[in-house]
Structure formats: structure tokens, C-alpha cells
């Protein structure tokens, strides 16, 4: 099956939305997939670009975006999720906290020095 590259810009216009910055993404689709997209868009009486945007909006909802919002605050859901993760880590480690890497490196260095001195 051959793959061809298409830009979905049916009207050959630059789509500019002042409310949000846009970026162009080029995707490679098989000829069959391109036809399916065009047919689905035509059935809904919208452009292929609009159809793909709607499909992607459903497949990748905004909730899956970064935890931090524009205001710079972290949501309550994110904090609750972090607390659950922390509790799971504590439970998995049976209450033992992580050791500092500095002390661990110091110990390993001392062991290595002793090992070399014994040779």
C-alpha cells in the first residue's frame, strides 16, 4: 500500500484563528485513508481539516494536557493525584524514605577506596 503525503487545506486558505496560535502538522496517509477522511467530512458537510480537528479533539481531550493551567496554579485533581502517588510509593517502600544520593555516593567511594587499599 503506497503512502502519499497530503495537506488538508481544501480551500487553499490560511486558517488563522486570532484566539489561539495555530501550528501546521503534516501527516502521511494512505490513499484509502485520505478517501475515508474526505468522505466522512463530505457526509458532515465540513472540510477535511474541520473533520480531522473534531476527531482529534475527541481523541485527545484538553484534560490530558499539562497539569499546570495558564494561571500558573495546579488543579486540586493534580494535587490529589500526587498525594495518591506519594502514598503508593510510601506503601511500596514499606515506609522507608529514599536515601540521599550524596551519602550513597560517599559510601560507595569509601568502599572502593578500601577495596583498592587491600590489593
Answer whether residue 98 is part of any domain.
yes
Q: Cell numbers of 46, please?
A: 465540513
Residue-level pLDDT at 7? 53
Q: Map grid coordinates 484534560 to a residue.
A: 63
pTM beyond cutoff 0.85: no
Residue-level pLDDT at 70? 55
> Could you list the residue range(s) of the whole structural domain that residue 33 is in?
3-64
Query: How many domains does the chain fold into?
Result: 2
pLDDT in tens, 2-35: 555 555 555 544 444 444 677 888 888 899 999 9
Residues 17, 49: one domain?
yes
- What does the alpha-carbon distance between residue 53 and residue 112 come to, in Å, rounded to a whole number? 59
pLDDT in tens, 53-102: 999 888 887 766 655 455 567 788 888 989 999 888 888 888 777 777 88
Amino acid at each position: 500500500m503506497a503512502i502519499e503525503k497530503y495537506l488538508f487545506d481544501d480551500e487553499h486558505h490560511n486558517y488563522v484563528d486570532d484566539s489561539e496560535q495555530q501550528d501546521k502538522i503534516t501527516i502521511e496517509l494512505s490513499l484509502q485513508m485520505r478517501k475515508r477522511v474526505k468522505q466522512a467530512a463530505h457526509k458532515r458537510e465540513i472540510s477535511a481539516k474541520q473533520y480531522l480537528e473534531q476527531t482529534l479533539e475527541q481523541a485527545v481531550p484538553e484534560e490530558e494536557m499539562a497539569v499546570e493551567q495558564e494561571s500558573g496554579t495546579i488543579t486540586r485533581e493534580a494535587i490529589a493525584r500526587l498525594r495518591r502517588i506519594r502514598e503508593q510509593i510510601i506503601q511500596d517502600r514499606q515506609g522507608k524514605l529514599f536515601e540521599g544520593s550524596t551519602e550513597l555516593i560517599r559510601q560507595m567511594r569509601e568502599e572502593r577506596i578500601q577495596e583498592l587499599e587491600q590489593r
